[in-house]
Amino acid sequence: MAVEFSQYLPFWNKLTDDQKQRIADVVEYRQVEKGTRIHDSSSECIGLIMVHSGQLRTYILSEDGREITISRLFEYDTSLLSASCVMPDMQFNIMIEAEKDSKFWSIPACLFKNLTEESLAVSQYSQSLISSNFSELMWLMEQIMWKSMDKRLAEFLLEESRLEGSAVLKITHEKIANHLGTAREVITRMLRYFQSEEMVKLTRGAIEISDEKKLIELLAS
Amino acid sequence: MAVEFSQYLPFWNKLTDDQKQRIADVVEYRQVEKGTRIHDSSSECIGLIMVHSGQLRTYILSEDGREITISRLFEYDTSLLSASCVMPDMQFNIMIEAEKDSKFWSIPACLFKNLTEESLAVSQYSQSLISSNFSELMWLMEQIMWKSMDKRLAEFLLEESRLEGSAVLKITHEKIANHLGTAREVITRMLRYFQSEEMVKLTRGAIEISDEKKLIELLAS
- ipTM score of complex: 0.72
Mean pLDDT of B206-221: 92
CB contact under 8 A, B117 and A119: no
| Mean pLDDT within B160-170 | 94
Chain A interface test: which of B138, B149, B178 (most A C-beta within 10 Å): B138
Q: Does residue B57 sit in the same domain as residue B108?
A: yes
Does the structure show a pLDDT above 80 at A2?
no
Residues A160 and A139 in one domain: no
* Cα-based distances in Å from A160 to A54, A111, A148, A167, B14: 14, 35, 19, 9, 49
In this structure, the answer to whether residues A90 and A139 fall within a common structural domain is yes
Q: Is the pLDDT of residue B98 over 90?
A: yes
pLDDT given at position A107:
93
- Which DSSP letter does residue B11 get? T
- pLDDT score recorded for residue B123: 92
How does residue B162 score in pLDDT terms, banded at 50, 70 and 90?
very high
CA separation for the pair A199, A192 (Å, rounded): 10
Q: How far is A141 from chain B (nearest CA, A)?
A: 7
Give a yes or no: residue B141 inside a domain. Answer: no
CA distance B46 to B69: 19
- Count of all residues that appear for chain B in the document: 221
Does the beta carbon of A123 lie under 8 angstroms from any beta carbon of chain B? Answer: yes
- What is the spatial distance between Cα B81 and Cα B133, in angstroms, rounded to a whole number? 8
| Domain containing residue A191 | 147-220
* Mutation to test the B interface, candidates A61, A118, A145, most B Cβ within 10 Å: A145
How do residues A7-28 score in pLDDT, each as one tens digit? 999 999 999 999 999 999 999 9
Does residue B103 fall inside a structural domain?
A: yes
H or E, element range at A157: helix A149-164
Q: Is the pLDDT reported for residue B8 higher than 80?
A: yes
Q: HSE-up of B111 (CA within 13 Å, CB side)? A: 18
Give the residue, A198 or B40, on which the prediction is more confident.
A198
**B79 contact partners, CB below 8 Å, separation of at least 6:** B48, B49, B51, B56, B58, B71, B73, B129, B133
* Together in a domain, A63 and A151: no
DSSP A66-103: -EEEEEEE-TT-EE-TT-TTTSTT-----EEEESSSEE
B126 and A CB contact within 8 Å: yes
Q: Residue A192 sits in a domain of what CATH number?
A: 1.10.10.10
pLDDT at B92: 62
Residues of B in Cβ contact (< 8 Å) with A90: 131, 134-135
B89 touches chain A (CB under 8 A): yes
What pLDDT does A213 receive?
94
CA of B198, closest CA in chain A: separation in Å? Answer: 30
State yes or no: pLDDT of B88 exceeds 60.
Answer: no
Q: Give me the phi and psi of A78, to 5 degrees please.
A: -120, 155
Chain B CB within 8 Å of residue A183 CB: no
Looking at the structure, tell me whether residues A153 and A61 fall in a common domain.
no
Q: Look at B66 and A91 and tell me if their CB atoms are within 8 Å.
A: no
- Alpha-carbon B66 to chain mean position: 17
CB contact under 8 A, B145 and A62: yes
Is the CB of residue B97 less than 8 Å from the CB of residue B38?
yes
Amino acid type, B9 = L
Burial class of residue A209, CB neighbours in 10 A (0-12, 13-18, 19+): buried
pLDDT score of B144: 78
**B140: in domain:** no
- Look at chain A and report how many structural domains it folds into: 2
Are the beta carbons of B131 and A90 separated by less than 8 Å? Answer: yes
Please indicate, yes or no, whether residues A9 and A109 belong to a single structural domain of this protein: yes
Residue A134 and residue B87: Cβ atoms within 8 Å? yes
Domain end, chosen from B66, B100, B135, is at: B135
Among A107-116, A157-166, B59-68, B184-193, the minimum mean pLDDT is found in B59-68
Whether A128 and A66 map to the same domain: the answer is: yes
Distance CA B69, CA B159 (A): 14
Which string of DSSP letters, residue by residue, matches A107-127? E-HHHHHHHHHH-HHHHHHHH
Q: What is the pLDDT of residue B45?
A: 74
Of the three residues A83, A112, A144, the one that is the final residue of a domain is A144
Contact call for A135 and B62, based on CB within 8 A: no
How many Å apart are CA A138 and CA B57, to the nearest integer?
A: 17
Q: Are residues A72 and A168 in the same domain?
A: no
Give the closest-approach CA distance of B124 to chain A in angstroms: 6
d(CA B55, CA B51): 8
- pLDDT, average across residues A84-90: 59
Please check whether residues B198 and B150 belong to one and the same domain: yes
- Quote the CA–CA distance of A27 and A7 in Å, as a whole number: 14
Band of residue B87 on the pLDDT scale cut at 50, 70, 90: low
Q: Has residue A110 got a pLDDT over 70?
A: yes
Q: Indicate which of B95, B118, B120 best probes the interface with A, i.e. most A CBs within 10 Å of its own CB.
A: B120
* pLDDT number for residue A3: 55
Q: How far is it, in rounded angstroms, from Cα B218 to Cα B193?
A: 12
CATH at A63: 2.60.120.10
Using CA atoms, how far apart are residues B182 and B143, in angstroms rounded to an integer? 13
Residue-level pLDDT at B141: 81
Write down the mean pLDDT value for chain B: 87
Percent of chain B scoring above 90 in pLDDT:
53
> Over 70: is that where the pLDDT of B71 sits?
yes
**Predicted confidence (pLDDT) per residue in A114-163, tens digit:** 999 999 999 999 988 888 888 888 878 877 777 788 899 999 999 999 99
Note the pLDDT of residue B91.
Answer: 56
Cα diameter, chain A: 63
Half-sphere exposure of A131 (CA within 13 A, CB side): 21
| pLDDT confidence of residue A91 | 56
Q: Do B206 and B110 share a structural domain?
A: no
Look at residue A47 and tell me whether its pLDDT is greater than 90. Answer: no
Closest alpha carbon to B78 in B54, B52, B98, B100:
B52
Q: Is residue B113 part of a domain?
A: yes
Cross-chain residue pair A135–B89, CB shorter than 8 Å = yes
Of A126, A133, A140, which is closest to B134 when you measure between CB atoms?
A133
Over range A61-77, report the average pLDDT: 83
E strands, B54-141, where?
56-61, 67-73, 78-79, 95-98, 102-107
Taking the C-alpha atoms of residue B54 and residue B175, their distance in angstroms, rounded to an integer, is: 18
CB within 8 A of A66, min separation 6: which ones?
A178, A181, A183, B145, B146
Chosen for mutation from B41, B60, B79, B130 (greatest number of chain A CBs closer than 10 Å) is B130
- Do A154 and A211 have their domain in common? yes
Assigned domain for B39 exists: yes
CB contact under 8 A, A128 and B88: yes
CA-to-CA dists, residue B127 to A13, A36, A140, B13, angstroms: 22, 31, 21, 18
B129 & B158 share domain: no
| The predicted structure's pLDDT at residue B14 | 96
**The domain boundary residue, chosen from A144, A177, A196:** A144
A–B CB contacts, 8 A cutoff, strictly below: 116
Q: For residue B118, is pLDDT > 60?
A: yes
Residue A85 has a pLDDT of 59
Q: What is the pLDDT of residue B85?
A: 59
Predicted confidence band at B89 (pLDDT cuts at 50, 70, 90)?
low
